[in-house]
Amino acid sequence: MIEAMPRHGQPPIGGLPSGKLTLSTEQKGARIMAQENSTRTTSNGGRVGGNPSPRSGDVLGGGSFKIGRAFGIDVRVHWTFLFLLVFFAGYGYVQGGNLTGAVLMTGLILALFAFVLLHEYGHSLVAQRLGTEILDITLLPIGGLARMKSLPERPADEVKIALAGPLVNVVLALALGAIAYLGFGSAPLQMVDIHAPGLTGGAVFAYLALLNAVLAVFNLVPAFPMDGGRVLRGLLAARMGAVRATEAAAAVGKAFAFLFFFYGLLSGNFVLVLVAVFIFFGAGGETQMVRQRETMRGLSVADVMGTRGRTETVTPYHTFGQVLDMVIHGYQEDFPVVDEEDRLVGMLTRREILAAAHSPERYATVRDLMRTEFPTVSPTADLFEEGQNLLLESGLRGIPVVEGGELLGVFTVEDIGQAGLARAAAGGARGKNRVHAG
């Protein structure tokens, strides 16, 4: 959770006492860079909720690259997946004693992850049909991850989305098993040694069918946030509400995580250990996000944002030195840029200021630094579904709040921390109204 930072009124740039402009621009730049370095070493780097955004996927998406797009969804691969291929190619070479063994093992891993990708598309296409936007699908060494822009509101929708993935693997298992049995006269499901001499096509199809059957069964284990855990959460939410259902499903998921972790250690299955870690932290992160969603439910950006009277603005003609002085002596990190007619024309963020601090002689005014493409948000926007998501996706710490072309204030990461206070205030006001009405 992000703590709410107190807001203190600051004088406008033009009203800064001259005594505060005693540092040279270079000295100010050095000072603000020192502040940034101190922040980086002491901050916990907290993010709002558990919504993977940014990209919530800073952890996942930051190390992934796009390999394609289908049905309006980007497919990405995490760079660590390449190490998985190299590892199993080497393992296949050692087991088979030749390059054929390496190629067979690599092909098997690629086939497995093709099934995982189809599994994730099962989730994604059903989610799209139910009105949920899918940001992307990322393939990781431990499996796949389809990122939804928001969680389904209706428990029944979550159950449908969760079951769609394993259902794809069931269909694939039946189809591949039928090919093995009807086309080759082989058993429909069987474990085989791909390096054994005389490997038949029927055995290969039967083995691929078995892989899909295992994927379906494993994903239906009620270890939230895996598919089975989401089914459990959806069924519980119909009776006890989203927060309590998530807490209960997360507790079950963490119990499975401990079992997977210790079994993985004892058996030497380190992929299962990684899966256990993912389940444990995923369960905790999503529980936090659902709690936050319920806290924010019904609140708008206007309920928590900093108003224009508490927001520092700059013009395109202010000097870089003046902006540095504001950052050093003030609380604000991102500044709306307005022209002579008080129209919003740009945004100046801490990122640009820090970049310019390395060579301040190149930047005379704000016009040289400001960004002219940036998101804005309406004061009536839903705090959780629109405001928070837009803020996280932008990568900024604050975005302008605009209505009818007029700048009303800035909505910041710190403002989201005020949701609990805003909720308490709204509840208190309703309580007083009920008392007076009685």
Answer whether residue 271 shows pLDDT above 60: yes
Burial annotation 98-114 (CB, 10 A radius, 16+ → b, else e): eeebbebbbebbeebbe
Q: How confident is the model over 304-328, as pLDDT tens digits?
A: 887 666 788 888 888 878 887 887 7
The whole-angstrom separation of Cα 393 and Cα 390 is 5
Q: How confident is the model over 111-152, as pLDDT tens digits?
A: 999 999 999 999 999 999 999 999 999 999 888 999 988 888
Which of these is catalytic: 3, 26, 36, 120? Answer: 120
Q: Please check whether residue 219 is in contact with residue 167, taking contact to mean a CB–CB distance below 8 angstroms.
A: no
> For residue 144, which of 120, 165, 127 has the smallest C-alpha distance?
120
User: Residue 308's pLDDT is what?
Assistant: 63
Burial annotation 319-336 (CB, 10 A radius, 16+ → b, else e): bbbbbbbbbeebbbbbbb
CB atoms inside a 10 Å sphere around CB 144:
19
Residues at the annotated binding site for Zn(2+)? 119, 123, 227
- Per-residue confidence at 427, pLDDT binned at 50, 70, 90? low
Question: Mutual orientation of helices 419-437 and 270-296 as an angle, nearest 10°?
Answer: 40
Q: Please check whether residue 233 is in contact with residue 253, taking contact to mean a CB–CB distance below 8 angstroms.
A: no
Burial class (CB in 10 A: 0-12, 13-18, 19+), 170: middle
Beta-strand pair 306-307/335-338: unpaired
H or E element in which residue 92 lies: helix 80-96
The whole-angstrom separation of Cα 195 and Cα 101 is 6
The whole-angstrom separation of Cα 149 and Cα 416 is 18
Distance of CA 285 to the CA centre of its chain: 11
Q: Which two tokens stand for residue 88?
A: 């199993």
CA distances from 63 to 57, 78, 145 (A): 9, 6, 14
User: Residue 149's pLDDT is what?
Assistant: 82
The whole-angstrom separation of Cα 99 and Cα 42 is 50
Q: Which residue has the higher pLDDT, 122 or 412?
A: 122
Q: Which two tokens stand for residue 436?
A: 């007076």
- Residues 6 or more apart in contact with residue 296 via CB below 8 angstroms: 383, 384, 388, 416, 419, 423
The whole-angstrom separation of Cα 193 and Cα 207 is 9
Q: How confident is the model over 283-301, as pLDDT tens digits?
A: 999 999 898 888 888 888 8
Residue 340 appears among annotated catalytic residues: no
The whole-angstrom separation of Cα 55 and Cα 165 is 24
Beta-strand pair 134-140/398-403: unpaired
Q: How confident is the model over 385-404, as pLDDT tens digits?
A: 888 888 888 878 889 999 98
Highest mean pLDDT among 51-60, 356-365, 423-432: 356-365
Q: How high is the mean pLDDT of the chain?
A: 80
Domains observed in the chain: 13-43+301-421 (3.10.580.10), 61-296 (no CATH)
Answer whether residue 207 shows pLDDT above 90: yes
Instruction: Quote the strand ranges of 274-317, DSSP E.
Output: 306-307
